[in-house]
Structure 1
Amino acid sequence: MTQRRPIRVGIMGFGQTGRQIYQLAAASDDLEVVAIADIGKPEILHYLLCSEGSDPEQHRLEGNFLVNHRFRARLMEIDRPAEMPWDIFGVDMVIDSTGKYRDRRYMEDHLGNGTPRVLLRTLPTDGIDRIVIPGINEQSATANDRMISAGSATTSALALLFDSLAGHFEIECGSMTTVHAFTSDQALQDYAGSDFRRSRSAAKNIIPNSHEAALWLGNILPQFDGKILTSALNVPVQEGCLLDVNLVLGDASVDADAVNEVMRAAAAAKPGIIGVAEDPIVSSDVIGSPLSLLFDAKGTIKAGNNTIKTLSWYENLGHASRLLDVVRLYATLDAQKEAA
């Protein structure tokens, strides 16, 4: 049996998520990043990559190529999907990690330029072929999917929590607030933007914000469509996010211990995706975690007869890991289709 060739990945956007995808691919034995589109200068992109990794010397800049011990990735100073010639790189999938090009028309630009498939690192703005959340609905994916989203770090964490609990308890409704690290699209100083609150400094304020997870949760878990409210608080922390969820349960006999036991079982069933923290951790303790959801057993509280409050942790590296899980999923589906 011949060994399958590495999966050829293109990346648009070499911000935090793009760099994490690159680092994870370099540490793998089945993925190679062949091209990266970003408006940054190659020497600055290389500098940022080296500043974050534990082994910066493994990454070299040779002209317009990022080189490591496994592959060479061509750096292209390109800003828009319509400008990137994916066809000349023979990519199997492009990950759009910009967070900007979420419309279907931009995904079609990627496809039109030669990638067989494009994966958004965040939620879309309109209809696409599939939202795939590893640990929940991988089985729904088909080899015919072309425009895909892996949700977002927050949406994935929330969906995994609800999916785990819904198999054991009747959840009538709920609310979620993500206490979220500040993001690259926030201003560090007060600066007039399109939103009043987000025009204030991310470095010195807790900023209430909306969150669109509720709009798409029903697409992933139809039983929760219209039952969950979601919001965000952006806080002056660079990494590490907290999911604060309040659940209204149909059974008043359910207590905090019962919820914790279900989540421990979920972690055992989905290792590498869900974990449980038994210690009193804080946000910096989750930095570097490849999990999508780290449930905080000490944070579970029962309030009144039917309300359970839970806390869970996550950070962006977990989402970058799941993006590559989705890439692998579709490579497997393609291989199965070819073998059929």
Structure 2
Amino acid sequence: MNLQAHQQEWQQSQTIAENLLPKIAQLYRHKGVELLMFGKTLVNAGTIDIIKLTHLSQRYTQSSLTLQQIEPLIQQLCQLPLSPCYIDIGRLTHQYLESNHPSDTSAHFLANTLSEALSGAALTEPKDVVLYGFGRIGRLLTRLLIEKSGPGYPLRLRAIVVRGGKDGDLEKRANLLRRDSVHGQFNGSIIIDKENSALIVNGNYIQFIYANSPQEVNYTDYNINDALVVDNTGVWRDSAGLGQHLDCAGTSKVLLTAPGKGEIKNIVFGVNHQDIEASDNIISAASCTTNAITPILKAMNDKYGITSGHIETVHSYTNDQNLIDNFHSGERRGRSASLNMVLTSTGAAKAVSKALPELANKLTGNAIRVPTPNVSMAVANLNLENAAEKEELNHYLQQMAFNSPLSPQIDYTQSTEVVSTDLVGSRYPGVIDGAATIAQDNRCVLYIWYDNEFGYSCQVVHCMEHMMGVRFNTYPSLG
């Protein structure tokens, strides 16, 4: 192919992608249908994003898809009476082409594949969500909820509760949402309503409520009812403490963004979210590390059987540590986070058994805090019942990442050039570094990257949806 042909092909792809943008938005805004491309959302994607995601097809299917093949199916989707769901247009197009249907039967193919979604069900009234706290996780949850907001999304961020501040507090919080040293600029509009202590974010009116404890808040004063309160402060982690939120008028459920204590269910979405019952009023979304390793450990245990193992996490520093040496109640935690590797403990390995009881008493764990602001790595040294070679093991993990019920929780990379900053913004709780895998007889070592802020926040949103009774099918089905 000559120089001119390459340029023409690129321009044609740009034209098609530009034409698809309003169709993708139409499906999401008017029908609640979120289009994905091999697990990556197309909602709010730009022209170049769509082209790049299309190029992922070879990684997932060993064959190349083109936008010329994808475009007709998206056009037909816009004509169907779809109810809210996820549709992976990359997988769907690949499945259609593999089925050897002639082009004039694509409508018949879609009707069969999406038959359960063709009810044309009306969009439901969004359910209220309150964020209690506005730190690292709180602000990322805000970004995610605003990104998803619209007539088709069943959750609506109504309020954020923070402690009382001085003059200029609201402006400072708006700027923390607008600019982030790790995750970059917020993609949208933020208008400050100082008189009413509110932010209008991409058209979403978010009330800021100043309070020093849950008892000070009456949510019905703000027309908030039956709300899910997402406590991202970490101050309370047991039923008694978190139950304070349920004593407030206008609330119905509480989700904790930290490991829960006592009888609170610790949920790793994708692994044990089915344990959430309608009667559960308080749930924990576990920790970022537990979310990163548990889906992969489940996949390993299902096929190879785990007899024992050790999890070492190389974890970015958090705001619990000191910038320079100062007093800290935890061992070694008082030493400067920006200058030291800090050996410390982690409860993540033990917490795995709360989501996967079959691994109880089989795992140990430790952590090394390192001077990076985000993205961590878990090194899983596992002893297996069944022996595995590296190539076979990586092929299995690749299939788990690309085409299994755990696909939304596991990503996979084979690149020998990937480093931690490449994973900033990853929406997966864990990403397997296949190039680093070690396997010998009945032992293996897996290297698992994770964005301990954003990837975890995506898991929290999944838990929020499930707690509030939101059930979206994915087409084609995974696995």
Give the TM-score of the pair, scaled to structure 1: 0.92
1:222 equivalent to 2:222? Answer no
CA shift for structure 1 position 87: 4.1
CA shift for structure 1 position 249: 1.1
1:254 partner SS:
coil
Q: 1:286 to 1:70 in 2, by over 3 A?
A: same
Hey, what does 1:140 align to over in structure 2?
A: 275
User: 8 Å contact 2:437–2:444 — kept in the other structure?
Assistant: yes
2:303 partner SS:
coil
1:125 equivalent to 2:261? Answer yes
CA shift for structure 1 position 322: 1.3
User: 8 Å contact 2:350–2:364 — kept in the other structure?
Assistant: no
- Provide the rounded CA distance (Å) in 2 between the counterparts of 1:334 and 1:81: 29
2:469 partner SS:
helix
CA shift for structure 1 position 219: 1.6
Hey, what does 1:106 align to over in structure 2?
A: 241
Of residues 41, 44, 48, the one that matches 2:172 is 44
2:388 partner SS:
coil
Hey, what does 1:19 align to over in structure 2?
A: 139
Partner amino acid for 2:171?
Answer: E
1:81 equivalent to 2:214? Answer yes
Partner amino acid for 1:104?
Answer: S
1:123 partner SS:
coil
Hey, what does 2:157 align to over in structure 1?
A: 33
Instruction: Kindly provide the CA deviation profile for residues 240-293 of structure 1, in whole angstroms up to 9, marking residues without a partner as x.
Output: 111111001123x31222221221111121333211011121110100111111
Partner amino acid for 1:25?
Answer: L
Cα RMSD over matched residues?
A: 1.9
Instruction: Kindly provide the CA deviation profile for residues 191-249 of structure 1, in whole angstroms up to 9, marking residues without a partner as x.
Output: 01102300100010000111112332222111110110011111000011111110011
Hey, what does 1:301 align to over in structure 2?
A: 438
Q: 1:330 to 1:125 in 2, by over 3 A?
A: closer
Gaps of 5+ in 1: 336-340
User: 8 Å contact 2:133–2:161 — kept in the other structure?
Assistant: yes
CA shift for structure 1 position 306: 2.5
Hey, what does 1:260 align to over in structure 2?
A: 394
Q: 1:192 to 1:54 in 2, by over 3 A?
A: closer
- Provide the rounded CA distance (Å) in 1 between the counterparts of 2:409 and 2:399: 13
CA shift for structure 1 position 178: 1.1
Higher relative contact order (CA 8 A, sep 6+): 1
Which runs of structure 2 are paired with 1:1-340 in the superposition (5 Å)? Answer: 1-28=121-148, 29=150, 30=153, 31-39=155-163, 41-52=169-180, 54-55=185-186, 58-63=189-194, 64-88=197-221, 89-114=224-249, 115-128=251-264, 130-251=265-386, 253-268=387-402, 269=404, 270-280=406-416, 281-303=418-440, 305-315=441-451, 316-332=453-469
CA shift for structure 1 position 145: 0.8
CA shift for structure 1 position 110: 0.6
Q: Percent identity?
A: 27
- Provide the rounded CA distance (Å) in 2 between the counterparts of 1:214 and 1:271: 22
CA shift for structure 1 position 79: 3.4
User: 8 Å contact 1:32–1:70 — kept in the other structure?
Assistant: no
2:179 partner SS:
helix
Bigger drift between 2-11 and 175-184 goes to 2-11
User: 8 Å contact 2:465–2:471 — kept in the other structure?
Assistant: no
CA shift for structure 1 position 149: 0.7
Q: 1:174 to 1:19 in 2, by over 3 A?
A: same
Q: 1:231 to 1:300 in 2, by over 3 A?
A: same
Partner amino acid for 1:327?
Answer: M
User: 8 Å contact 1:78–1:84 — kept in the other structure?
Assistant: yes
Instruction: Kindly provide the CA deviation profile for residues 153-176 of structure 1, in whole angstroms up to 9, marking residues without a partner as x.
Output: 100111111101111002110010
- Provide the rounded CA distance (Å) in 2 between the counterparts of 1:333 and 1:73: 22
User: 8 Å contact 1:242–1:313 — kept in the other structure?
Assistant: yes
Q: 1:80 to 1:257 in 2, by over 3 A?
A: farther
Gaps of 5+ in 2: 1-120, 473-479
1:245 partner SS:
strand
CA shift for structure 1 position 312: 0.7
User: 8 Å contact 1:206–1:235 — kept in the other structure?
Assistant: yes
Whose helix proportion is higher, 1 or 2? 2
Partner amino acid for 1:72?
Answer: Y
Partner amino acid for 2:136?
Answer: Q
User: 8 Å contact 1:33–1:73 — kept in the other structure?
Assistant: yes
- Provide the rounded CA distance (Å) in 2 between the counterparts of 1:162 and 1:56: 35
